[in-house]
Structure 1
Amino acid sequence: MGDYSKALEFYEKDLKITKIALPPNHPDLATSYNNIGLVYSAMGDYSKALEFYEKSHKIREIALPPNHPNLATSYNNIGGVYYHMGDYSKALEFYEKSHKIYETALPPNHPNLATSYNNIGGVYNNMGDYSKALEFYEKSHKIREIALPPNHPSLGTSYSKIGQVYNDMGDYSKALEFYEKSLKIKEIALPPNHPSLGTSYCNIGQVYNAMGDYSKALEFYEKSRKIRETALPPNHPDLAISYGNIGQVYNDMGDYSKALEFYEKSHKIRETALPPNHPSLATSYNNIGEVYYHMGDNKKALEFYEKSHKIREIALPPNHPHLATSYNNIGQVYKNMGDYSKALEFHEKSHKIREIALPANHPSLATSYNNIGLVYYTMGDYSKALEFYEKSHKIKEIALPPNHPSLATSYGNIGGVYNDMGDYSKALEFYEKSHKIYDHALPVRR
């Protein structure tokens, strides 16, 4: 239900009773600490979550043999916190510790091994290492195909994860193929208003939105929202996600009043359901700021981007990729205001975090170079603009498939610089490269 304060209240009552009734290293105490950690993790209070997960883990280390599956669960949960904190190397370290125990303790096709592979795949996907992500998601899927009946919901989840990688790679036809496989299984296995069906519709909506097919995106986002409104309490965080997704489509369509309406609905739910410094509230402020940015209201955009940033500074570690996003967004506003030195300052802060937090060819580093290039372009410093646009483009060539729309943007930006420099043959060459990709990657408008 997403009622975290109630969950904490009952788990803490359970812990008090368990502490009185059992010796200090009893495995049931570890379970109590683990449950409280789960709630704090869901609330976005990652330091508290780590505190309770580590208490749980210490007991299990004392009470259980070294390859007991519950120790693997501990490592997995700690890995999950580091994953949400954006500390991917730590997340991998703990997920791999968990996986080693499962490999020793469980038969080779046990569903928990599939979950392990899935979690490791998720880290590689967030790191932008899509081939590794696919490798681990496919290992997970193979186990589930052997271990589970053909229409088990976990197989649907496997297809969905593989679809997510293809979506992030910009291979939208593949993404749709896997998301639709996932949906078919869920339609057979689950009741018609199950929240997991809402997630499937949401995923398909995201692909259509990325393809610029906004009517299709809205159709699937609305299907998702209707299920969630039926299945969940009115202030459940997943409803906030639905409203946010619909707001995003309206924002991309340029219907800013509608975008604000849905983003504000999303934000109201999060204010009710989540603690005041939860990262999802930062996302809400960021989204509202983005609408004002597109409306040209730089003052309002800065106000909301800074609210978002303050929460992220409290809730997240100092090199979390979301902080880089905050600095980037603030930099974009300063560029629009004509304060280029401030814009560069914030884009460079963003870039420094991404250099620390992400692998060398992550697409977000390409975004950083692109945005720094854009500031120099706006300042009329075309040689600097080209330098950064080309750095951005090199990363995209390595990290993305050859017809990804982001490569088209790169070619377009480089073409724009040559055009303004008066080198029209070069400009045409790059504009045509851009056009070919858009022709291939995006749906035909009729």
Structure 2
Amino acid sequence: MGRNDDADAYYLKCMKIREAELPYPNIALGGVYYNYGVFLTYLGRTSEAMAYSQKALDNYKAIDPDHPRVGDAYLSIGQKYVEFGDYRAGRDCFLESLRIFRKAFGEKQERVGTIYNLLGNIYRLNGDFEQARIYVERGLEITRSVLGPDHDRIASALTTVGDIEADAGNYPLALDAYRRALEIRRKILGDDNPNTAFLYFLTGQASREAGLPREGLPYLQHALKIYGDSDMGESEDMANVCASLGLTYLDLAEYAVSLSYLRKDLVILRQLYGNTHPYLADSYSNEGLWFERQGRLDSALYYYHEAMRAMSLDFDEKDIYATPGLTGIMLPYQFLDILKMKGDAFAERASGTKDLEAALDCYRRGGELIDRLRSQYRSQGAKLFFQQKADPLFAAGFRTAWRLYEQTNDRRQAEAAFWFAERSKAGLLTAALQGVADRPFAGVPDSLRLHAENLRSRISGAEQQVNDERLWPSDSTGRQLSLLKSRQTALQSSFDSLLAVLENRFPAFYQLNYGTATASLAAIQHKIPDKRTAVLEYFLTNDRLYTFTITRSDVNLSAADRPQSLDEDIAYLRSPPDRTLWLREPDKAAADYLSRSHRLFGILIGQYLDVSRYDRLVVIPHGILSYMPFEGLSSDEGVDFRQADFLVRRCAVQYANSATLWAADRENRSGREKKLLGMAPAYGNALAQTNIAQDLNFRGSLGPLKFNETEISQAAEYFPGSILLNGAAATELAFKENAPDAAILHLAMHALVSDSLPMQSRLIFAPGQDTLEDGLLHAYELYNMKLPAEMAVLSACNTGFGRLAAGEGVMSLAHAFRYAGCKSIIMSLWPAEDEGTAKIIARFYAHLADGLPKDEALRLARLDYLGQADLMHAHPYYWAHLVAVGDMAPLRKSRTIPVWGWILAALALAAAVRIFRVRKS
């Protein structure tokens, strides 16, 4: 440290001389600011480094805004933003740096390639691996063309490729990239260079993560030798290798060797960082894991607790039952892991309620932390964050609360379990909205939205600066720490005030991005309108199926083993009938389906409810259950679909992503004039031959829809003044021009729902003549539209078949329509027969015109279809695909006679008058 202190003093002395002698701005003055910022970054004093990098930037920009030194300063600041976790600001800095370097040097320049590599890393951290690959490959191409194939910059870019593939779980590709980078380093730096050792370490670590610990051992041991033979034997890099070796030997069940390496890691980090540091917390967590694998839970809990103490700047409690608050946590994402591990150890050790309550406290605190981090999901890779951290914690919290409820029969524990279930479903929605916050929202001024994003980023940076100052004080008086804390408090106060404005003026936007309110069981009971309505909420784990059965008078909780055939049964019930089997053995085909249907009816409904006592069910599905319409489940078995006792014969069913959203739906009512916009594009065979359906792994075919024009024409007969746009007139631009004024939107067109990127899901309109619209209405575009419709009918194929990941429910175009203002959605869950859908929709509107609630109108429309269907077309595949979501209130109180009805009535009256005249004469 002595040499670092000397260097620090020399930098400050040089800076003082140049500030006194050189005019402002000046390249040399900017240079000392820039270099001192680099030096402070090396020392880990990131907040101070940021300040000097900013001074360098201001100096250079005053000389020439497009000077290459400005690009260097943006590059340095961008890297610090990445360290703060503000990836959006980091990306913006890198893009500005890229613009400047390309203007100064052209595309084929070394620094341009480096920035492409850094941008690729940003997208990796965002979880957008496809975009990350594009940027890194471009950077590799440029760097190779400038520096040749065997340069250290090539090795760095290949390392980023390996990081991308490792994060994406593509370990063979990750290992290939690391090994290629390793060979370059060995060739140009030698086999005993510390930079080469780093790639040995990465290769060994990736091998362990790939489930190949034995293959990774030689790489880790070689890295250990290189560091040991150099002056880095007590370095952070050496500690990382020891930790990875300890975990590798733990996977190999060589416990003594494993513990020796884990202990060495801990010793090095204590020497480097004292008692408080994120890396030290990680080391304690690894030792806790070692003891947990041995079944020594008392010791595991001790080490997990020590990890909490090492991660928190405000917590020094030694009682393992104590849990720190959420202030002063250095790395919240890593702290979430510690909370989960400690909670798991308490839950595993529990023989009574004390340890279970301690576990629940850990999980609840984790849930609160997730809510705090919720607005950062998008900047930390929303889907990966939810899959890897949030969802497992919610599931563990749910199971623990359920165990406590079973032991105590305490309603508070039932409420806790319900809270975890609802928070899980809210997190799924947030994860699906990755990237939407970067786009405009309808009615929300960009200035407010961007100001909120900016404040959030500045708060994150301010918190990091406070933590840095506490770890590495820049003065002995504490004045700098006090100043930084005051800035943090002021920023948080500004952000809280802005959130209050957003919540008051733009409640839908606020709830989508910042709201964390969760309805209680009691609140859901209060929202149930009558004793003939029941709510069924499900929560699925890998091995259990949990059910809340909620009525106005009672709440029942039930748990059962998850059926081994659940996924297979649901896939079967969604599949079209085998026509060959139907022709040869129709009774067997029907019996096979009804047997599975009956089994699932008993598992999901029959054991909880006597459906004869209810007229309406509200289903809150979870995971794979989101893919299945419950109306097609049968309470009996048989061989004839026309006689089967399907649930549709007993109850109307509606669906919601969460009970909290369902309760909010019931508060929305409108008395708008009922004007329908119907759209039915014409699709030629050529569209089915394009690659559009393969883009982003879309499901569904794109063949012609023969009955979509008939469908919207029949719907329009009940709504005078309807606007019908068929064929080439059904363009995206026409939709955007007419939809805001319609009370009913009926879109009989193809929809493509992305499995991997829900916000890229899209409706396919007729191609337009304008250049502003591409004929593809994306889900993210709907968030910037105002569609105050009473109902949207999305009868297109696969409208509701969204992405399923880590228990995710259906996240598709349907939610985007609801955010835009549509109070209810009728959507399809699979590609259905065009003609049958048109028949059901026609009857649906007829029953709506009689003043029935939407779910009841849909139920009766299905029964009308079943009443005239032949044996095969009575199969639920042909009628169960349409489901109702949202506000089910009737559209109107009394029936409106269709136009053709008035014509018939007029003809009948004319005939009657003529008959009367003839008789009179």
Pick the TM interval, shorter chain.
0.7 to 0.9
Alignment partner, residue 202 of structure 1: 201
CA contact (8 A) 1:18 1:28 kept: no
Q: Which amino acid aligns with 1:365?
A: F
CA contact (8 A) 2:301 2:345 kept: no
Residue 86 (structure 1) shift: 1.2
Q: Which amino acid aligns with 1:305?
A: A
Q: Distance in 2 between matches of 1:288 and 1:423?
A: 33
Go from structure 1 to structure 2 and tell me whether the alpha carbon gap of 1:308 and 1:87 turns closer, same or farther (over 3 Å shift).
Answer: farther
- For the pair 1:71 / 2:74, whether they are aligned, the reply is no
Task: State which of 294, 300, 307 in structure 1 corresponds to 2:309.
Answer: 307
Q: Distance in 1 between matches of 2:107 and 2:98?
A: 11
Alignment partner, residue 223 of structure 1: 222
Higher alpha-carbon Rg: 2
Residue 78 (structure 1) shift: 1.2
Q: Which amino acid aligns with 1:223?
A: H
- For the pair 1:59 / 2:59, whether they are aligned, the reply is yes
Alignment partner, residue 324 of structure 1: 333
Residue 318 (structure 1) shift: 7.2
Secondary structure of the residue that 2:312 maps to in structure 1?
Answer: helix
CA contact (8 A) 1:319 1:356 kept: no
The TM-score normalised by the length of structure 1 is 0.80
Alignment partner, residue 16 of structure 1: 13
Alignment partner, residue 697 of structure 2: none
CA contact (8 A) 2:166 2:174 kept: yes
Task: State which of 351, 372, 397 in structure 1 corresponds to 2:394.
Answer: 372
Q: Which amino acid aligns with 2:385?
A: S
Q: Distance in 2 between matches of 1:378 and 1:333?
A: 13
Q: Distance in 2 between matches of 1:388 and 1:253?
A: 37
Alignment partner, residue 443 of structure 1: none
Q: Which amino acid aligns with 2:541?
A: I
Go from structure 1 to structure 2 and tell me whether the alpha carbon gap of 1:191 and 1:286 turns closer, same or farther (over 3 Å shift).
Answer: same
Q: Distance in 1 between matches of 2:68 and 2:281?
A: 36
Secondary structure of the residue that 2:544 maps to in structure 1?
Answer: helix
Residue 115 (structure 1) shift: 1.0
Go from structure 1 to structure 2 and tell me whether the alpha carbon gap of 1:229 and 1:72 turns closer, same or farther (over 3 Å shift).
Answer: same
Show the 5 A alignment for 1:113-192: 113-192=112-191
Go from structure 1 to structure 2 and tell me whether the alpha carbon gap of 1:278 and 1:68 turns closer, same or farther (over 3 Å shift).
Answer: farther
Residue 309 (structure 1) shift: 2.1
Q: Distance in 2 between matches of 1:282 and 1:51?
A: 28
- String of CA shifts for 1:366-415, please: whole Å, max 9, x gaps: 2211221122124447996887888889999999xxxxxxxxxxxxx834
Residue 6 (structure 1) shift: 2.3
Alignment partner, residue 783 of structure 2: none
Secondary structure of the residue that 1:66 maps to in structure 2?
Answer: coil
Go from structure 1 to structure 2 and tell me whether the alpha carbon gap of 1:357 and 1:253 turns closer, same or farther (over 3 Å shift).
Answer: farther
Residue 244 (structure 1) shift: 2.0
Q: Which amino acid aligns with 1:377?
A: R
Alignment partner, residue 318 of structure 2: none
Residue 19 (structure 1) shift: 2.4
RMSD: 3.4
Residue 279 (structure 1) shift: 4.1
Go from structure 1 to structure 2 and tell me whether the alpha carbon gap of 1:35 and 1:287 turns closer, same or farther (over 3 Å shift).
Answer: farther
Residue 324 (structure 1) shift: 2.7
Task: State which of 370, 384, 388 in structure 2 corresponds to 1:363.
Answer: 384
Task: State which of 536, 547, 565 in structure 2 corresponds to 1:426.
Answer: 565
Q: Distance in 2 between matches of 1:231 and 1:251?
A: 27
Residue 135 (structure 1) shift: 1.3
Q: Which amino acid aligns with 2:393?
A: N
Unaligned runs of 5+ in 1: 400-412, 431-446
Unaligned runs of 5+ in 2: 316-325, 347-355, 404-413, 435-539, 547-558, 570-921
Q: Distance in 2 between matches of 1:426 and 1:393?
A: 25
Residue 77 (structure 1) shift: 1.1
Alignment partner, residue 441 of structure 1: none
Secondary structure of the residue that 2:211 maps to in structure 1?
Answer: coil
How many aligned positions are there?
A: 410
- String of CA shifts for 1:14-69, please: whole Å, max 9, x gaps: 4303422542644333333333322332333321221222232232233x321112
Alignment partner, residue 435 of structure 1: none
Residue 275 (structure 1) shift: 7.7
Q: Distance in 2 between matches of 1:414 and 1:149?
A: 51
Q: Distance in 1 between matches of 2:52 and 2:33?
A: 5
Residue 13 (structure 1) shift: 0.9
Go from structure 1 to structure 2 and tell me whether the alpha carbon gap of 1:358 and 1:176 turns closer, same or farther (over 3 Å shift).
Answer: same
CA contact (8 A) 2:240 2:265 kept: yes
Go from structure 1 to structure 2 and tell me whether the alpha carbon gap of 1:147 and 1:277 turns closer, same or farther (over 3 Å shift).
Answer: farther
Alignment partner, residue 363 of structure 2: 344
Q: Distance in 2 between matches of 1:194 and 1:208?
A: 21
Q: Distance in 2 between matches of 1:261 and 1:284?
A: 13
Go from structure 1 to structure 2 and tell me whether the alpha carbon gap of 1:320 and 1:169 turns closer, same or farther (over 3 Å shift).
Answer: farther
Q: Distance in 2 between matches of 1:147 and 1:344?
A: 52
Q: Distance in 1 between matches of 2:367 and 2:115?
A: 36
Secondary structure of the residue that 1:102 maps to in structure 2?
Answer: helix
Secondary structure of the residue that 2:565 maps to in structure 1?
Answer: helix
- Normalized per residue, the structure richer in strand is 2
- Normalized per residue, the structure richer in helix is 1
CA contact (8 A) 1:11 1:32 kept: no
Secondary structure of the residue that 1:303 maps to in structure 2?
Answer: helix
Secondary structure of the residue that 1:128 maps to in structure 2?
Answer: coil
Q: Which amino acid aligns with 2:49?
A: A
Sequence identity of aligned pairs in percent? Answer: 19
Q: Distance in 1 between matches of 2:37 and 2:340?
A: 36
CA contact (8 A) 1:309 1:326 kept: yes
Residue 217 (structure 1) shift: 1.8
Show the 5 A alignment for 1:272-287: 272-274=271-273, 279-287=278-286
Go from structure 1 to structure 2 and tell me whether the alpha carbon gap of 1:8 and 1:254 turns closer, same or farther (over 3 Å shift).
Answer: farther
Go from structure 1 to structure 2 and tell me whether the alpha carbon gap of 1:423 and 1:386 turns closer, same or farther (over 3 Å shift).
Answer: farther
Q: Distance in 1 between matches of 2:56 and 2:113?
A: 23
Q: Distance in 2 between matches of 1:393 and 1:31?
A: 47
Residue 292 (structure 1) shift: 4.5
Q: Distance in 2 between matches of 1:74 and 1:364?
A: 31
Q: Distance in 2 between matches of 1:415 and 1:105?
A: 56
